[in-house]
Structure 1
Amino acid sequence: MIMKHDHAPHSPVLVGRDPVVDLVRAGCLIIVVGLHAFMAGISIDGGRLAVFDATHGQPWFTVLTWLVQIMPLFFLVGGFASLTHWRRLRARGTSPAAYVQARLVRLARPAVITFGAIAAAFAVASLLGVPGDLLAQVGFRMGQPMWFLGVYLGVTALVPIMVRLHETVPRRTLLALTAGAVLVDLLRSATGLEAIGFLNLGFVWLAVQQFGFGYADGWFRRIDRCRLPAAALLGVGTMIMIGWAGGYSPNLIDNLNPPTCLLLVLGVVQALALTLVEPALRGLAARPAVTAAADAINGRALTIYLWHMSVLVGVALVGLAAGLPFPDPLSPAWWITRGYWLAAIALVMIIAARLLGRFE
């Protein structure tokens, strides 16, 4: 449904859930879980398990990251959902503090349960004599994706403020966030201090969230559809120029922690691409089976995200205990077994989500 909002009289405002956004959110989560499972390099060296990134330094994977780096899209559709949700609650008289409290509790509760269970599992493993270096490897790999939760908690807490800025000074807000992101990247490059780059956890992701607000308010739909492909290609060209001039890694996964301006531009490209394919996605989302699958995934999205690395490690340990072979990563046998590996992860993840989703 579309209505006019008092603070943005010239902007069509979407209220309620959008099946296309639901479908994209579910698709993004599938890509994240599948990508982490695919990247997992597991080998047996002298009877001991080793866990590492099998795709590190591979040129073909660098090219692939331009297709599978969907974290900006995640924050984009998250911005859409947050804007429409907050506007519905605000219309009912909900205060910003009540909104933030409810959102943080909903996000934090399953996280605390997950972290507690993982900590207990590591304690038991240590008591059973599992080598400390192996636990360190596994813990590092399991902890890597968890940055997202902390950042998402932060941008969620700022939704009422950022929506207000979007409705009153949208251009100036985006300009300030973009300028902040550029300045952080310049300072990081000039000083060599990598820690400075983590300021962009705020600037970059808040800016992409604002793009999501704009997507909900029809910014990108005002562009002539015939010009959308050219605009998206221009955005990709801008990314290439920025990457070359700024000395950024061409691997877009490497640009994630900390996020760089490349991901900010990628957010614009993905917003344009989503607008272009929206009619096709809307037809797909209208199919009952697709709707049911998207609802099932989104209804347990946080559970899936929090537990997917534990599932990955658990499947590997079961395979090791069963004496299954672990081919050398990137060997022909490794590629042949990828389908079985991903299918096993998917099956166990479905079971885990059904059992643990109650906490969400």
Structure 2
Amino acid sequence: MTETLERPRLAARPEASVRTRTGVRRDESIDAIRVVLLTAVFALHAMMVGVSVGPDGPVLENALEGQAWFGPVSWVAQIMPLFFIVGGFSSITHWRSMRARGATASEYVRARIERLVRPAIALVAVVATALVGLTVAGVPAEIVGIAGFRIGQPLWFLAVYLGLSALVPLLVRLHERAPVLAPLALLGAVVAVDALRISTGVEPIGYLNLLFVWLLVHQLGFHLADGALHGLARRTLLGLAGASLLLLAVLTVMGPYPVDMLVNLNPPTLCLVVLGVAQLALFELARPRIRAWVAERDASRAISFAGERAMTVYLWHMPVLVGLAGTALAANALAGSPLPEPLTAGWWATRPVWLVVAAVAVTAVVLVFARFERAGAGRVRGADRAPAAVADATAGAGSRAPRAGAPAGAATTAIDAVCAVAGVVVLLVAGFSPWPAAIALTLLVLALTGPRLRSWLGRRVRAALVLRLR
């Protein structure tokens, strides 16, 4: 659940969510939209799964990739900017809540690492073992490689969000000192990277915007949390959304950017920032109605239940989809089950059934593996149980995040954060083959256990010194 420090200037808002007994305010529109966005991600990825048998054997592909008609659809389907906006809202309210209770920046970052890394370790261990098992069973290496690549694709979000979470205390300080200058500087960096990439044709330059684009969109969430849009007239918000979409049309139809917002995701471009502004304005318009809907249907408990497991859903939905695709291929090979060609009439006719089966399978897997996410939440008592990776979890019931072992300093916490990001990047670059998976798993475990490991080593060293002095 998402909570924010209660402030006098917000107390009189008629649409503000109910206050908890801890003196913090939970915004149920943030909780609800997070679940909606996660559902949209699952549905989009499920629709992308194209499995068939070609002249050269089994084919596992992105069925929507390269389709001209999908470009305009992607303006609605690309919801990652709003994900980061919601994450920015939650990040600033969580950090301010912990800071007000006396927690340090290192404790905040440790809390984020706990929430993000623990369920990721379970994913890497299980997926890597399963892929090795498929290889040993004689599945062609090409199919195993494609499966590992598809499973690893969504992990870019985890890597970026780990990095952003480690920077939140610094980013909030920057926002509080220069709320206008900070996003303008980031916007300049985004434009400069895009211009350099387009003018030189060197595509890897664009990946610098994995930092600048998402930092900027994340900071839009800071402004949302501060109420920067509150009080704007409905027509003003509609005008902001319309102007942003018009600019997006100019940038893509007349400018140098592709119309497809999923293409603009890799590498991230200015288009995602513009789309994020439109989504921010439309979300602000919808927030009162979202709150009312939650209250009328008493849906807060269901939203909370889903939110507590959302990190697990995000990590595991793609392995489940790839597993179902492999099952369909096996059924075709063993029993002749039909596999309609992607995007044909027969394929579209089977999509409703496919979505239902996929949703049931993901639910079953989540119920098994959510224990890792919830265990991470239990270890960090200052953190709310909404999913951090999908959008940063916020402060819960009033205690400080506990120190694991010895108090963690800024330098050692930074090392743990670097290990966590590096572990995910290894998988993105090298895939889930045995050695990369082993390296990634080692880095993630080091990030998770860093304070306890250092405390244990410190005790051993002190004990050894005492014995030598005797």
- From 315, 332, 353, the equivalent of 2:345 is 332
- Give deviations 1:230-276, integer Å, cap 9, x for gaps: 22101101111222454101000100011100001111111100011
What pairs with 1:6-155 in structure 2 (closer than 5 Å)?
15-45=24-54, 48-155=57-164
2:260 corresponds, among 243, 251, 268, to: 251
Q: 1:103 to 1:334 in 2, by over 3 A?
A: same
Distance in 2 between residues matched to 1:245 and 1:101, nearest whole Å: 46
Q: How far has the Cα of 1:46 moved from its partner? A: 5.5
Cα-to-partner distance string for 1:176-215 (whole Å, 9 max, x where unaligned): 1100000000000111111111111111101111100100
Match of 1:315 among 324, 345, 349: 324
SS in 2 for 1:247: coil
Which of the residues 353, 366, 370 maps onto 1:357? 370
Separation (CA, whole Å) in 1 of partners of 2:167 and 2:254: 33
1:201 to 201, 210, 223: 210
C-alpha RMSD over aligned residues: 1.8
TM-score (norm 2): 0.72
Deviation, structure 1 residue 328: 0.3
- Paired residue for 1:238? 247
- In structure 2, how many angstroms separate the alpha carbons of the residues matched to 1:93 and 1:338? 51
Q: Distance in 1 between matches of 2:112 and 2:6?
A: 25
What's the % identity of the aligned pairs? Answer: 44
- 313-322 or 35-44, which deviates more: 313-322
Distance 1:49 1:292 in 2: 43
Please, which runs of 5 or more residues in structure 1 have no aligned partner?
A: 6-11
User: Which of 225, 241, 254 lines up with 1:216 in the alignment?
Assistant: 225
What one-letter code is carried by the residue in structure 2 that aligns with 1:68? Answer: A
Q: 1:289 to 1:125 in 2, by over 3 A?
A: farther
5+ long unaligned stretches in structure 2:
10-15, 374-470
Aligned counterpart, 1:3: 7
Counterpart-to-counterpart distance in 2, 1:296 and 1:313? 25
**Structure 2 counterpart of 1:358, one-letter code:** R
Which stretch shifts more, 220-229 or 131-140? 220-229
Q: Tell me the alpha carbon deviations over residues 283-339 of structure 1, each in whole angstroms, 9 at most, x when there is no partner.
A: 112245532332222111111111111111222233333443211000111000000
Distance 2:46 2:209 in 1: 27
Structure showing greater radius of gyration is 2
The structure whose residues are more often helix, as a share, is 1
- The TM-score with structure 1 as length reference comes to 0.94
Q: Is the partner of 1:65 in helix, strand or coil?
A: helix
Rounded Cα–Cα distance in structure 2 between residues aligned with 1:354 and 1:303: 9
**Contact 1:17/1:81 (8 A) holds in 2:** no
- Specify the SS of the correspondent of 2:26: coil
Whichever residue aligns with residue 333 of structure 1, its letter is G
Which structure 2 residues correspond to residues 148-227 of structure 1 after superposition, within 5 A? 148-227=157-236
